Amino acid sequence: MAEARIFVACLLGLFAGSAVAQSFPSGPLKLICPCFPASGFDQYLREFARIASRYVGQPIVIQNMGG
């Protein structure tokens, strides 16, 4: 009985390598700005997104949702 459990555990270990995760992020990131376009906070976020996109390796898109 214990041998069967070890055998099954070994088989499951063989298939674990096929579940490799994707690298994050795999596409552009969306950053939501709660202010109107051309506001002070919007300009700050755009500068932040420009600098952060270098480190992340993906473009960061600013979406304004003022209200």
- Which three-class secondary structure state does DSSP give residue 4? helix
Structure tokens given for 36: 């109107």
In a domain, 49, yes or no: yes
In a domain, 12, yes or no: no
How many structural domains comprise the chain? Answer: 1
User: Using 50, 70 and 90 to split pLDDT, how confident is the model at 14?
Assistant: low
Angle at 64 between CA 30 and CA 38, to 5 degrees: 125
In a domain, 57, yes or no: yes
Containing structural domain, residue 56: 22-67
DSSP β-bridge partners for residue 64: 33
pLDDT tens for each residue of 25-61: 788 999 999 888 888 989 999 999 999 999 888 999 9
- Whether the Cβ atoms of residue 27 and residue 35 lie closer than 8 Å to each other: no
How many CB atoms lie under 10 A from the CB of residue 33? Answer: 19
